[in-house]
Chain A
């Protein structure tokens, strides 16, 4: 197996992009990644496209074939990858394996989702189609609902507090204001979302005990990366190559109630362990991480299950600022899903793009983790039933 490098990355600002189709967004992000790698359209052997909902939301299928045609990349091989909100990282994994195996040399991986052309409850319903079709979905469960129940259990078992959840929300919204690709460009304060008598209106309960500002927004957006063999990276691009040093993927039961302990995100632990083992690194080696904070509680729970903190310590660490830009382990300094947004098919790729920016040392100093060499991403599918993790390393 060959080492694989990321030589190009592309993003478009996430948000509400009324004027762009899904294909427009995928094309913009892909072109940005191809430009960034400096390879133009020539020499792309294969394309993997991550998308969860075009069949439902846009009544469109075969988005990979459509993207290849839009970009004029024929006759490149093209596949769409659907793995719920972990589609992005799954698509990168497929591209990684294709290059590592020696079968393809240059692979474009793009991911996108257009969720804002339906009203909010329809978007929530679309996301809920990933739940069990017989014992969860028909009873009206939604992902915010699951997150609310999970939070309640986590509070009971580990002493997680509202203040700790708020610390995540406030940090990520602040960092989002520094990220030009972020959907939400607005700081929030403890006074505004909790302390003030007006906070009950500003920040209502959404899925008890989670409030409005514990949730990520519904977003449109796309992101892309270009992969090639590490040994050829420096011949192809002037960018500092970033090596995919390790990956892991694990699954868990489809339904939450079948888990022995619903607060135990086993797939997160296993995916992270696999990725660190392959990279021959540990969580202590990580300089910057992007975790899947669709809900504030997930950033805390994942930070513990991935090995950055002991169980029950992640919330305290967030409250103490240890996950901030200058903290012990900076987490989601992009703003995370909470602020950058969560166009589900794009998210796993956007996380990797962010880490590549960090490892290239290409960001403004207000958001750059100083001298970052190793990064980690975790893309969380379902409610933890399909999780993909990467360890990325700057190539010196």
Chain B
């Protein structure tokens, strides 16, 4: 069935102008280079394939983060979320992490989710930092609203960035307490928490843009859950 574009124009909210996120490269502790770049809307179907296996992983609340991230990315792809963006981390073309958020208005950013697919290399922390960098430095916003669904998120965001608790403010992700990052807090933490070099080397960036690989479902689950635990 075709879309009724007259109705569709009502359902699709007009978007704000969103400056692009300039790609960067982070050298990880193991020496590998992670390209951090803005994902294209046309790449969402591939990203959904990577997110889908996480929706059954209870560990560290991957199931909740995975289910919500899936819905947010799908909403972006099908034009049902306004002003959304997504950044991805890739090593040798492989997707290792995803972050997303949106502009509420010109001044306020809404941080959605951070998902590390490969763990142990601070990939989630690096990508969250890139997300904050995008809101403050490239979208030019004054503050970012943030909440956490896992203890790891709470430790990484609320404590490490010394975020400000917001009483009586409703984050879009539900009833959890909302916090905010201000420009001052961001720049106070930047040297300590925001990594990456620009411009991204041309060969690495081109390879990442042309090759968005995702690991198979078993590998994704293993990378997230680890191979340890539950074994005699």
CB contacts under 8 Å to B, within A192-228, are 192-193, 196-204, 213
Closest to B159 in A: A121
Produce 1/0 per residue, B161-188, CB < 8 A to A.
0000000000000000000000000000
Contact A19 B230, CB 8 Å, known A119-B155, A186-B121, A198-B195: yes
A15 touches B (CB below 8 Å) = yes
Q: Is B29 within 8 A of A18, CB to CB? A: no
The residues of B that contact A192 with a CB separation of less than 8 Å are 27-32
CB contacts under 8 Å to A, within B175-226, are 191-197, 226
The residues of B that contact A204 with a CB separation of less than 8 Å are 192
- Interface hub of A14, A120, A188 (most chain B Cβ within 10 A): A188
The residues of B that contact A197 with a CB separation of less than 8 Å are 27, 195, 197
Q: Tell me the complex Cα distance, A184–B59, Å.
A: 18
Q: From residue A284, how far is it (CB to closest CB) to chain B in Å?
A: 36
Q: Tell me the complex Cα distance, A196–B31, Å.
A: 9
Closest to B226 in A: A15
Contact A13 B229, CB 8 Å, known A186-B120, A197-B197, A201-B192: yes
Q: Is B30 within 8 A of A198, CB to CB? A: no
Produce 1/0 per residue, B125-159, CB < 8 A to A.
01001000000000000000000000100010000
Q: Tell me the complex Cα distance, A16–B152, Å.
A: 14
Q: Is B120 within 8 A of A199, CB to CB? A: no
Q: From residue A391, how far is it (CB to closest CB) to chain B in Å?
A: 30
A17 touches B (CB below 8 Å) = yes
Produce 1/0 per residue, A169-196, CB < 8 A to B.
0000000000000011111110111001
The residues of A that contact B3 with a CB separation of less than 8 Å are none
Q: Is B196 within 8 A of A198, CB to CB? A: yes
- Interface hub of A188, A198, A213 (most chain B Cβ within 10 A): A198
Contact A16 B226, CB 8 Å, known A186-B121, A202-B122: yes
The residues of A that contact B226 with a CB separation of less than 8 Å are 15-16
Q: Is A16 within 8 A of B31, CB to CB? A: no
- Interface hub of A18, A28, A32 (most chain B Cβ within 10 A): A18
Produce 1/0 per residue, A142-186, CB < 8 A to B.
000000000000000000000000000000000000000001111
Q: Tell me the complex Cα distance, A263–B197, Å.
A: 40
Q: Tell me the complex Cα distance, A203–B129, Å.
A: 15
- Interface hub of A14, A119, A183, A213 (most chain B Cβ within 10 A): A119
A: number of interface residues (CB 8 Å):
34
Contact A18 B59, CB 8 Å, known A192-B29, A198-B197: yes
A12 touches B (CB below 8 Å) = yes
B7 touches A (CB below 8 Å) = no
Q: Is B192 within 8 A of A31, CB to CB? A: no
A285 touches B (CB below 8 Å) = no
Closest to B24 in A: A198
Closest to B193 in A: A201
Q: Tell me the complex Cα distance, A198–B126, Å.
A: 10
Contact A200 B27, CB 8 Å, known A19-B230, A183-B228, A184-B120: no
Q: Is A13 within 8 A of B192, CB to CB? A: no
A20 touches B (CB below 8 Å) = yes
Closest to A184 in B: B120
B231 touches A (CB below 8 Å) = yes
Q: Is A31 within 8 A of B229, CB to CB? A: no
Q: Is B155 within 8 A of A16, CB to CB? A: no
Q: From residue B204, how far is it (CB to closest CB) to chain A in Å?
A: 14
Q: Is A189 within 8 A of B231, CB to CB? A: no
The residues of A that contact B230 with a CB separation of less than 8 Å are 17, 19-20
Q: Tell me the complex Cα distance, A198–B193, Å.
A: 9
B26 touches A (CB below 8 Å) = yes
Closest to A183 in B: B228
The residues of A that contact B231 with a CB separation of less than 8 Å are 12-13
CB contacts under 8 Å to B, within A42-71, are none
The residues of A that contact B191 with a CB separation of less than 8 Å are 200
Q: From residue A161, how far is it (CB to closest CB) to chain B in Å?
A: 20
The residues of B that contact A203 with a CB separation of less than 8 Å are 29
Q: Is A191 within 8 A of B192, CB to CB? A: no
Q: From residue B32, how far is it (CB to closest CB) to chain A in Å?
A: 8
Closest to A28 in B: B232
Q: Is A189 within 8 A of B192, CB to CB? A: no
The residues of B that contact A185 with a CB separation of less than 8 Å are 120, 227
Q: Is B228 within 8 A of A15, CB to CB? A: yes
The residues of B that contact A32 with a CB separation of less than 8 Å are 232
The residues of B that contact A15 with a CB separation of less than 8 Å are 226, 228-229
Q: Tell me the complex Cα distance, A199–B126, Å.
A: 12
Q: From residue A186, how far is it (CB to closest CB) to chain B in Å?
A: 5
- Interface hub of B120, B151, B228 (most chain A Cβ within 10 A): B228
Produce 1/0 per residue, B22-53, CB < 8 A to A.
00001111111000000000000000000000
The residues of A that contact B193 with a CB separation of less than 8 Å are 201
Q: From residue A296, how far is it (CB to closest CB) to chain B in Å?
A: 15
Q: Which residue of B126, B151, B229 contacts A16 across the interface (Cβ within 8 Å)?
A: B229
Q: State the B residues within 8 Å of A (CB).
A: 26-32, 59, 120-122, 126, 129, 151, 155, 191-197, 226-232
Offer 15 A-B interface pairs, CB within 8 angstroms, sorted by A.
A14-B228, A15-B226, A17-B229, A17-B230, A183-B228, A185-B227, A186-B120, A189-B29, A192-B32, A196-B27, A200-B195, A201-B122, A201-B194, A202-B28, A202-B122
17 more A-B residue pairs beyond the given contacts A13-B229, A183-B228, A191-B31, with a C-beta to C-beta distance below 8 A = A13-B227, A13-B231, A14-B228, A17-B230, A20-B230, A28-B232, A185-B120, A187-B30, A189-B30, A191-B27, A192-B32, A198-B28, A201-B126, A201-B195, A202-B122, A202-B195, A213-B29
The 4 A-B pairs at the shortest CB distance, nearest first, are namely A189-B31, A15-B228, A196-B27, A201-B195
